[in-house]
Amino acid sequence: MAVYNTDADAANTAVRAFLTKLGGVYMMKSYGLSSYNTRSGRGKEIWGEIVKEFKSCCAYCGCKESDKVKLEMEHLIMVNRDECGLHLPGNTVPVCKPCNKRKKEASGVVNWRKQLGFICDDPDVRDHRIKRIEAHMAKYEYPLITVEEQEMIQAVATRLSERVREEGSEAWKQYEARAKAFQ
């Protein structure tokens, strides 16, 4: 959570909420559930199954969960305006905290395959982990989204982000205008 919240933080939260809601459409089709709530109910059970599927190990580096190593949920296709990943079982794997921090390049944050490449030097182990993750995505039916659908989702997410930022800026202007009455 940000220490100093900005309009950009609000915009990112709105985009994540939109993508989570969109994920709910796919959850209904595949699981008969309105959302993938990993804190309770069937969503929590599914997340537990995924952690067991990976033998309580980090999907990237392979370290085992312990008192010192806690596993976190990694969205393979990030749930943000750039990648427009959906919050679905097929898009989540367990990773340790150090592996859950995506590397950045000049072009932006790297995708999960590149991230795995930074973490795992051994090409055979890396290829095995990639295949395991891809099998996981297929098993949990992460939807194959066409280029056209991806562009449409990205356009909606980008516009939502812009509108939330604009509203935040406008709200501040309104506050400043009204605050003058109290000075």
Residues 34-43: tens digit of each pLDDT:
889 889 889 9
pLDDT over 80 at 2, yes or no: no
What confidence score (pLDDT) does residue 160 get? Answer: 97
> CB under 8 Å to 100, separation ≥6 — which residues?
72, 74
> What whole-number distance in Å separates Cα of residue 71 and Cα of residue 94?
6
33 burial via Cβ count (<10 Å: 0-12, 13-18, 19+): middle
Q: Are 94 and 121 in contact, with CB atoms under 8 Å apart? A: no
Quote the distance between the C-alpha of residue 124 and its chain's center. 27
Q: What pLDDT is stored for residue 180 in this prediction? A: 82
Kindly give, in sequence order, each residue whose CB lies less than 8 Å from that of residue 80, ignoring residues fewer than 6 positions away: 12, 15, 16, 19
What whole-number distance in Å separates Cα of residue 158 and Cα of residue 162?
Answer: 6
